[in-house]
Structure formats: structure tokens, C-alpha cells
Structure 1
Amino acid sequence: MRPRNRPPAKYLSSLGYTRCVRRVVSPVQILPMRPATRRWGRIVLLAIVITAVAPCSSAQPQELTKPGDSMSGERRRVRFRVEIDAPHHYETLLRERLSLMRWQSSEELTMPLLRRLVQEACASTQEALATDGYFSATVRATIDEAADQAIVRLQIEPGPRTTVESVQLDFQGAGLADDEGKERIEAVRNGWSLRKGDPFLDSRWVEAKRGALARLGRGRYAAAKLVESEARIVPEKSAAHLRLRLDSGPIFHAGGVNVSGLKRYSPAVVENFNPHGYGEPYDAIKMELYQRRLLETGYFSAVHFAVEPDIAKAAAAPLNIAVIEAPTQNLDTGILYTTDLGAGLKVDYGHVNVLERALRFRSVLDLNEKEQSLKVSLDAPPRPGGVWSTYSAGLERSDVQGLISRAAMIEYAHNWGLEHVPSRLFVSGHIEERSIAGFGREDAHAVFVGYRKTYRTTDELLTPREGLIGTMEVGVGIPALSSRKFARARGILNWLVPLGERNDFFMRAELGVVLAEARTGVPSTFLFRTGGDQTVRGYAFESIGVPLGDATVGGRYLAVASAEYTHWVTDTLGAAVFVDVGDAFDEPKAIDLALGVGIGMRYKSPIGPVRADVAFGERTGKVRIHFSVGYSF
């Protein structure tokens, strides 16, 4: 029984499918076919189609066959209408899809043709139901010719839906002896989407196989293929037994880069970001980061990677990169709302080919209830090794927890790395004027030299379940050029641990310190406050800090920790419980950790994990709602 929406054999072959068959063990078995027996295989398939159509026989067979009718009666023109007795969803679908329905308005229809159309409709219905998991469905058809207009009655009884009873995943190839290969095999097992108890749908079966092959391949095993695929259906038990064997093939190592689709830019714009050295084994996370970095430059609207899958070239396999260049100028506007900052307006303008030298200019105007800022930047094109320079300046005003700050900054940064927040060495100048409710005014300025390192080791890029993500930043305010001599260090670490197939544990820690004789004279951007969507939930944005007058200002020390457990109800939707603690303080002995506990919803979206939380703040005794996307760096 072959559903009509199954991808053609040529397409399956291009995915590495060398043997793929769905077996119905009652009443007839379809066994895996060798190439030499394809002709006999077609005969067996024809027998199955006839068997599938057999239940479509009429409750009044003579009305479909009518062997005694005269030739003149057979050739007379007939009109008919169709009545369908089926579950509403299938009735609607059949009325839209069956070719029989389109003949109802024909004036050239004869009875023999109508009977053939009814038989075809039965076969199509049976096939569609099997594709949707109903392998023991009954389809009956009758033709009532008593009235002036014939009535075709289709009665559909889907029966019980077939569900997955067992899944067997087997592997072979170099991946079995390779550490990363073993991790990928485990990822295939954990990420298998058609699990025991799920309805067996042909579309989900095809998608599950495609997903397993993609997880195993992903560059390093470019020649990975499906060597065996079987869905054994037992209609009388409404059960499907699935078996898959995948071959990883050899490990592929980096060769050259072939770029196509460029019109305005040099190939070096693409090649200089390549994280793989010649002969180095391809790494899936590096390739995903590489692809995302190319998109984030703004040069391209689409980027497609494909490692040359020729096994003979595995020692130095070329990476073929196809790009579509984006418009050189872009303007984005949006009305936003966050639980931390309230309602806001954002205007983002970019030009990615200034002076036709691949220089990237960007200006962002961000206005919300608590912060208003204008930032401009100019990025140079990447140099060999994936490094680039950024020149930026900005103005900002904020009014948060009784502290009104007006600040200006300029900065030069030397960047490298593929993360969304790249590693960098930078020097910046800052001037700030701040008004503190109930206290007065303070001024501060600094020239700061800093270093930031971003770190990642995870199993996935956008929705990781295992690994570490973090950043570390250190720097000093130059004494002769700053209102206060100080040094600063800050680190954030996110730790993800899978607990079985549908349970995850997440921990986050953040520590910060400013080494200075006092906090006065240090610009607010280098001091610490906490509380809000991605820090200590249950508290308002940056409401945890040093009390001063009627305001809460930044302190010289920061300590925050979070622990969260998530149970995934579906592959993309989960429920979470969490506990957060943290404080920002000015003296080590003044630490007083604020506690927040709560529950939330998690959603794996294309832009990263989405969180909606309800949290109780123990210090304030209040409940707050929080919404956030992604991980904090």
C-alpha cells in the first residue's frame, strides 16, 4: 500500500534511502525487495492494491456492475450527486480532493464511467486513510439509480488508528568508534520524533527518517545514509513496528570552500569566517555558527551549506556554500513590549555596503518606558581568521528604580568568533550624569580597556539540551582618564543537563566584582543591579541593588544563581519549575540574597527558547509575570 504523497524514489535515493518498505503483515506480506526481483515486486504490489480496494465493494453489487443492462442504457447520459457518511474531517477532505466530486456537473457522463470513478474514489479513500494511520478502514460505495438523479453513497469507517508499538534504531559505520559520532547517535535516539504510542502517519514516518539522517550527517558524516527502513503494520492489532538502520560512512575533513551566488562581494567575505582549518574534521556546531554568522552580517538573505559527499574526497572534502545577497539597505521598525521595560518603539536602519567596500553601518533607536537610546556602529568586513573591527558610539537615558542616568559612549572593538555575542578586545570612553531620587546628583567618566571571551559546548545551537554556554569579561578603568580607578570582572555560566527523553535540568550562575575604593565615580554601566526576566524572577527589573536615598543604585558586587527543571509535554512545549536567588551589594558582608520561586511554560521556537513565567518574590511578597527569549550572556 503506497500513499500518493510519498516522495518519489529518485528523491528518496538522493537522501540516501537504499531500501525502504512498509509491510502490512495481514492479509499479505510485502517483504524487502532485491533489485533483481522488482518485476515480481510490482506484481505483489498490484495484488495489495486489489486487496485494498476489495472492501470497497457495494452492499448491492449489482448496482455497480449492472451486467444485464442494454447497450443503449449503458450509453445514456446520467447526472449524480454524492453523499458521504464519514467523520467530519475526512468528509471535508474527500469533498475537496476526490476527482469524483468534480464530475457532478458534467453532462457527458455515462454509467460505466461513473462506476469506474466510484471504484477509483474507493481506492483513493482507502489509500488516504492508510496514509493517515487507518490500515483497517472500511469503505463502502453504492449507486442508487431509482431517482432521476443517481445518488452515490460513500460510507467510511476508519476503524482504530494504528500506533507505534516498537522502534528499533541500528547504526553502522565510522561513527560507532568516534566520540562525536557516539554523541550524534545518542542525539538521533533522543531526537527520534515518532515514539512508541504515537499515531503512525506516513508523513511523520518520512519526516522522522529525514530528521534522523540529518542529525547523524551534519557535515562530519556527509555520506550518511539509510541502508534499511521498514514499517511492519499489523492491522488486526492496529500496531506499527518500526526498524531503521543508518550508516554514518567515514569522517569527512575540511577541504576548500566553494562560494556561489556572489555579485557585490569578494569570496573572502565568506571564506574569512570559516572556522575549520584544512584537514580538520567537520564539526556540526561550528558549521551552524558559521552559517548563522554569515546571515548576521547582513550581507546575505540566505545561506546554504553542503559538504561534498564523495567518499573518495573525505580526507579533504570541499564545503559548497550557496548564498543569496540581501539588499544593501534595510529598515526595520516595530512596537515592542517586555515585562522588564514595558511598551516601546524600535527603529533599526542598516547599510551593509558603504562606499561599496562591504563596510556595515547600523543605527538603532530604541524607545521604551524605562530606557531610551540611540546607537550607531560601523563594522569592517572580516579579515583572515574571522576577525573584524567595530567602531561605535551611543547616547542613552534611563529611569529605573529612582535612578535617572544620562550617558554617552564611544568604543573601538577587535572581534572574533562566531557566537551571537563574539569574543572581543575593546577600549571605550564613557561620560555619565546621574540623578538619584532623595539623594542628589553624581557625575562619572572613564576610559575602559576590556577583554570578553564567549564559550560554548552544546549539542544544539538554538535549542540545546546539554552542554555549557557562558561569557567572561575583565577590564580596567585607566586611572589618569577615569574619575575613579577601578578594575572589573564578570562571568556568566549556563549549564544544561538532559534527564531522560522529556526532562531537562538547567542551572545558571553569574558573579561580578568591581575593585574600587568606592562605587562613586564609577559609571553605572560597570556597576551591578539585578532582578527581572533573565536574572532573579519575582522582582522588578533591576530592583535589587544598593539602597540610596529613595533609589536603588548599582553595587560593586553581584551574585546570582538559578536552578530550573522542565518536563516536555510535547517535542516543543514544556512546563517548568524554578528557583532564583541573587543580590547586588556594595560590601561583601552586606550580601542578602533575594529568593524567587515559580512555574512557567517553555516553547522551542525557531529563534530560541521562549519562556513565560509566574514567580513569587520572597523579599517583596509579590507575584510577577515574566517573559523572555534565549539565554543570557
Structure 2
Amino acid sequence: MRAPHLRLLAIFLGLALAMPAAALELVSVRVEGLEDEAQRDNVLAALSLEKLNPARRRALTEARLSFLLRRAPREARQALEPFGHYESQVQTEVERNGELVSVRVRVVPGEPVRVRKREIALSGPGQSDEVLARRIARLRPREGQPFVHSVYEDGKASVDRLLAERGYFRARLDAHRVEVTRAERTADIALSWDTGPRHVLGEASFEGHQFREGLLENLVPWTPGEAYDQARLVQLQSSLAQLDYFSAIDIRPEPGEGEDLEVPVSVKLSPAKRSVWSAGVRFGTDSGLGLTGGLERRWVNDRGHKLDLLAGLAQRRNDLAASYRIPAFRWIDGWYTGSARLQQEQVNGINSELLEVAGSRSGRLGNWNLVAALNLRRERFEDAATGFDYSYSTLVYPSLWAQWSESDDPLYPRRARGLTMELRAGSAALGSDIDFVQLRAEGKLVHSVGRRNRLLLRAEIGTTVSDEFPSFPPSLRFYAGGDRSVRGYGYKDIGQFFIGTDGRRYVFGGKHLAVASVEYERMFNRTWGMAFFVDAGDAFDSRASFDPQVGAGMGLRWRSPVGPVRVDVAHGFGSDAANSVQLHLNIGPDL
């Protein structure tokens, strides 16, 4: 009689075992105990628990969870070895809320393995190369520092790159050994390179361009037989790109085999579109709403001459400009330029008309962009002090403009510095109505504060020396106020002023200028951010009349695909602002 009962019991147990166990859901995996973000991320990425896809996280069984928990300590310890931690202690904890499971991985990294001894050597002709010697001296990790695998490999790769950049194309790594003694927590490094001979630069050949022979050859910044340096090729690439003649530039060194150490350089070019027409709508706080159009003739002939035409029609300013540029590559890369400009402008209710003709020579010397010019300006402007009768000014003067800058990124720098200076000097002996000397300088500094914050500083000063300043034209006087000056004030709203016969306040500029700005920027992500700023400045005739006008506000920052866009709202607190609130729109790089 017992057999039927046993059979029923066996069937019941079999059905119970065949039923699927209740599924668990893995909600989160956290790594604790590691302050270094890179170590924490590497451990998390190595855990099989973290690698589970969403479907498997929702269908996790007890058996699978137990298996993965047993693997976690070994995976975490292996993930920390590249950072020099070979004796890490790892514990796992599971938190349950019904079927929901959270896993916490606690890590005690322990003392890292440190470099006890380094033997790094160069042999061959390159052992006397000072540039290579400095790179070797800066290699990390140094003695006493934790042996981090990525730092070691990056340093080794940087030497390999530098050898190639310096023309040691036959260099080889003879020894690369690291001996780790876990018991003593030490690592001994041995590296040795045989540099081989250094190659020399050969002739540069140009293909695919549209110019007469000899024009582009003047841009080559080396003479054949000079020691190979990749920086020279980069310099040539930059010079060709700045010409705006080509849509594609391919520069390739072609080192030979055997005993030949000369490296010919092949430059393959593709012409860009020859004529570029432009038309659009523009808006600026200085000019108002308007239209603009132009023609750029990238090359007029096989000598590489350029022609630019530009016309603008706006509420408060109309422009018509033309320039003709001739290549000047023999001394320093640059241009001979002849230009003419007509401008009609209204600033603070005062109308002016300007004709300017200039001849200039531009060039780049080191990190400096330079322009030397001879200028002729004929200006007619309303004189509000005499009831808006027209006054006339004729100035002939040489000028020198210089700009220097360095940054880690041309559009969105985290560290950058820039300086711009301009000098003008007019004399009656040259045909000017008055004698004068004018100097202006502007400096900018960008400094990162953490990963998402930047501090932006700006200062501008200017001075005019002339015994006949009342006859100085409005277009060359100093003003402050506007998007790129003191925000919270209108364009050219700050300066010496008088009350006209109509009872209106007219700003006519000053002999001297002093402006300063402090801005703090916080980016919420890679695209959007906010900024807070304080600006102050004045355009004045004497120390007694110096009255800094202060503006402060906040703004939105958008890192657009074409460059930074800044939208600011600012309040002016000085007497020139009349408690106004101004909206400012600014587009372009920080320097």
C-alpha cells in the first residue's frame, strides 16, 4: 500500500524541481572605497555583474548571482593591478528588497607598488639630442612614484613618437623590461633605445595646384639638408591652409632606404572653389539690423592675388569695402594689401561719413601677427556743440598692429592668453591736419577652474597724445560700453559728453581709455552653461575726469558647432547707464 504514496511523492518533488525559480532583478552595482575616479571606473567596467545587459539583469537567478559574486573579487583585483595595486582586498555585499537586488563592492586598494629603480638609456647619434634628453628626463613614473601601467606605456610611446618626429626613422627599442616584486611592493624599469642616424629634409615638391612655379616654394620653411623635424612640416601645412587656396592638403615625408638619409617631401593639393559669394542678415548693437553681401575671389591669377568686396546696409551703419592682396612670402608669410572703405555711421545721434584708403604689409613672425600700414582718412562729422554743423578731418599716418596669443584650443580654450597692441602716429609733415600719437593695448586671460569652470579676465587701455585733440575725428577717439567693452551700457555710451543745444546728452569720446572685466563661467554639460560677470571702464580726457562706469550681469553660454555664442543680460550702475538693462549678443572665440 505504500508504493502508490511514494510514487505520488516522487511526482510532486519532480514537478517542484521543474518549476522555474523566482527571477531576481539586479538594480545597481556600486564600487566603494576608491577615491580615484579612473580606478573606480576601471573596476566597475571589469565586473561581470556590471556587464549584464538589461534583459539578463531582469532574469537573474540565485545560482547565477552567486557565481558572479564569487568572480567579483578576482575581477576587481585584476582591474587595480594596472594602477600599481597588487594586494587589494575586496568584499561584496548584497542588499535585497523583495526580488530587487543591489550589489556593493567594497575595495581596500592597499599600498601600491612603487618604482625602486629606473635605467633609461639612449644609444646611437641621438644620445646627444637635447630634445630627446629632456623627454627622457621627464618620463614617468619616476623613482618613488606608483607604478601605473598606463603612465609607463604612455611615456614609452611618447619617446617613440618623438624619435619619429625628430627624424630617427630607424630607431628601435632594444630593451623594455619591468620587474615587479610583490612582496617588497617595488618595480624596476629598464628601457633602452638605439636611435639610429637622424635623417635630413629634402626638396618639397608640389602637385595639383593652379599657380606658377616658385610661388608656393617660398613657403617652405627649411633648406634641403637641414635636420629632419616634423614641426617644419606642420608649419608648412599651417601656411598653406591659411592661404585659403586649397580644399585639401596632403603632406607626406618619403624617407628612403639604405644609406640615403635625405627625406623628400611630397605636397599634394586640391584647389578650393575659386569664387565665394555671400549674403545674409546681420544684427549688432553697434549697427542694428541690416543686410550684408560680398564676393571673395580666392585667387585672381596664377600669381595668387586675392580680391575681396563687401557691402553692408544697416540701421545705424552702412559700409562699402574693397581690398586687393598680393602674396608676400619671401621674407615672412604675409600679404601686400591695398584697401578702400566708405562708411556712414550714426553713434549717439551724431552722423559721420568716412573714406579710408590704406596700403599695408602683413606677416607672421613667431607667435606674432603683424601689420604695418600707411593710412589716409577723410572724415566728415556733425559737431553737436556748434548746432550740428559739419566738421572735416584729414589724417595721414603710419600704423602698426600686433597680436600674440597661445591657447590649448582655438574655439573653447581652458587655458589661453592673448595680447593685442596698436600704434598710430600722424604728422602735419605727412599731410595730416594735426599731429598725434595714439596707443591701444588689450590683454585677455582664460584659466580653468576644475573640469567645468573657467575664469575669464580682460583689460584694455589706450591713450592719445595731441595738442589739438578737439580737432580729432570721432571715429578715432576712445569710447567704452557694449558687447566687448562694458556690458550694461549701449555701444559707445561711455565717454566724455556734453549737452547739446537741443538738451540731449552727446558722447564724443575721450583721449584715454581704461576697461577691465572679470567673468566666471560654469558649464552644465559640454554644450550649455552660464556666466556671471562684472565690467568697469571709462573713456576720459584727464585723471580728474576719470569716472569708471560699472556693469554686472549674467548670461547663457552655448558652444555651438560654429563657435561660442554668448547671450548676456547686464545692468549698468554708473551715471552713464541711467539704470538701464541691456541685452548683449556676442559670437566668436574668447581671444
Tell whether the structures are fold-level matches, with TM greater than 0.5.
Answer: yes
Task: Indicate conservation of the 8 Å contact 1:379/1:389, yes or no.
Answer: yes
Q: CA–CA distance in 2 between the matches of 1:449 and 1:629?
A: 31
Task: Indicate conservation of the 8 Å contact 1:519/1:555, yes or no.
Answer: no
Of 283, 292, 310, the match for 1:346? 292
Task: Indicate conservation of the 8 Å contact 2:398/2:426, yes or no.
Answer: yes
**Which position in structure 2 is the counterpart of 1:135?**
51
Amino acid at match of 2:475: T
**Which position in structure 1 is the counterpart of 2:375?**
428
Task: Indicate conservation of the 8 Å contact 2:435/2:468, yes or no.
Answer: no
Q: CA–CA distance in 1 between the matches of 2:391 and 2:255?
A: 63
* Displacement after TM superposition at 1:511 (Å): 0.8
Q: CA–CA distance in 1 between the matches of 2:319 and 2:530?
A: 35
What secondary structure, in the 3-state scheme, does the structure 2 residue paired with 1:525 have?
helix
Task: Indicate conservation of the 8 Å contact 1:223/1:310, yes or no.
Answer: no
Map 1:135-174 onto structure 2 (within 5 A): 135-137=51-53, 139=55
Residue 558 (str. 1) matches residue 513 (str. 2): yes
Of 382, 390, 401, the match for 1:452? 401
Q: CA–CA distance in 2 between the matches of 1:420 and 1:559?
A: 26
What secondary structure, in the 3-state scheme, does the structure 1 residue paired with 2:525 have?
coil
* Displacement after TM superposition at 1:357 (Å): 2.4
Deviations, residues 284-316 of structure 1 (Å, cap 9, x unaligned): 7x9878656544433123345566799999x98
Unaligned 5+ segments in structure 2 are 1-17, 19-45, 57-78, 85-114, 123-129, 141-153, 177-191
Distance 1:563 1:353, change over 3 A: same
Q: CA–CA distance in 2 between the matches of 1:617 and 1:592?
A: 14
**Which position in structure 2 is the counterpart of 1:409?**
356
**Which position in structure 2 is the counterpart of 1:24?**
none
Deviations, residues 79-100 of structure 1 (Å, cap 9, x unaligned): xxxxxxxxxxxxxxxxxxxxxx
Task: Indicate conservation of the 8 Å contact 2:166/2:230, yes or no.
Answer: no
Residue 264 (str. 1) matches residue 214 (str. 2): no
Q: CA–CA distance in 2 between the matches of 1:350 and 1:478?
A: 35
Deviations, residues 305-335 of structure 1 (Å, cap 9, x unaligned): 566799999x987765443212322211111
Q: CA–CA distance in 1 between the matches of 2:583 and 2:80?
A: 41
Q: CA–CA distance in 2 between the matches of 1:365 and 1:625?
A: 26
Q: CA–CA distance in 2 between the matches of 1:530 and 1:350?
A: 33
Residue 623 (str. 1) matches residue 581 (str. 2): yes
**Which position in structure 2 is the counterpart of 1:598?**
553
* Displacement after TM superposition at 1:402 (Å): 1.7
Q: CA–CA distance in 2 between the matches of 1:458 and 1:470?
A: 12
**Which position in structure 1 is the counterpart of 2:26?**
none
Q: CA–CA distance in 1 between the matches of 2:447 and 2:511?
A: 32
Residue 469 (str. 1) matches residue 418 (str. 2): yes
Task: Indicate conservation of the 8 Å contact 1:563/1:578, yes or no.
Answer: yes
**Which position in structure 2 is the counterpart of 1:532?**
482
**Which position in structure 1 is the counterpart of 2:42?**
none
* Displacement after TM superposition at 1:136 (Å): 0.5
Map 1:167-206 onto structure 2 (within 5 A): 178=134
**Which position in structure 2 is the counterpart of 1:77?**
none
Residue 545 (str. 1) matches residue 545 (str. 2): no
What secondary structure, in the 3-state scheme, does the structure 1 residue paired with 2:433 have?
coil
**Which position in structure 1 is the counterpart of 2:99?**
none
**Which position in structure 1 is the counterpart of 2:432?**
482
Q: Alignment RMSD, CA only?
A: 5.1
Task: Indicate conservation of the 8 Å contact 2:402/2:420, yes or no.
Answer: yes
Task: Indicate conservation of the 8 Å contact 1:459/1:467, yes or no.
Answer: yes
Moved more, 352-361 or 528-537: 352-361
Amino acid at match of 1:510: E
Deviations, residues 456-514 of structure 1 (Å, cap 9, x unaligned): 23233333222321111112102231111101111111112222332222211111111
Distance 1:409 1:419, change over 3 A: farther
Deviations, residues 264-291 of structure 1 (Å, cap 9, x unaligned): 124654454456788589687x987865
- TM-score using structure 1 length: 0.58
Map 1:233-252 onto structure 2 (within 5 A): none
Higher relative contact order (CA 8 A, sep 6+): 1
Unaligned 5+ segments in structure 1 are 1-59, 61-129, 141-163, 186-208, 229-246
**Which position in structure 1 is the counterpart of 2:271?**
325
* Displacement after TM superposition at 1:559 (Å): 0.8
Of 391, 404, 408, the match for 2:338? 391
Task: Indicate conservation of the 8 Å contact 2:168/2:199, yes or no.
Answer: no
Q: CA–CA distance in 2 between the matches of 1:181 and 1:402?
A: 65
- TM-score using structure 2 length: 0.62
More strand by share: 2
* Displacement after TM superposition at 1:442 (Å): 2.0
* Displacement after TM superposition at 1:428 (Å): 0.7
Task: Indicate conservation of the 8 Å contact 2:316/2:345, yes or no.
Answer: yes
Identity of aligned residues (%): 27
**Which position in structure 2 is the counterpart of 1:567?**
522
Query: Matched residue pairs, number?
Result: 446
* Displacement after TM superposition at 1:178 (Å): 4.4
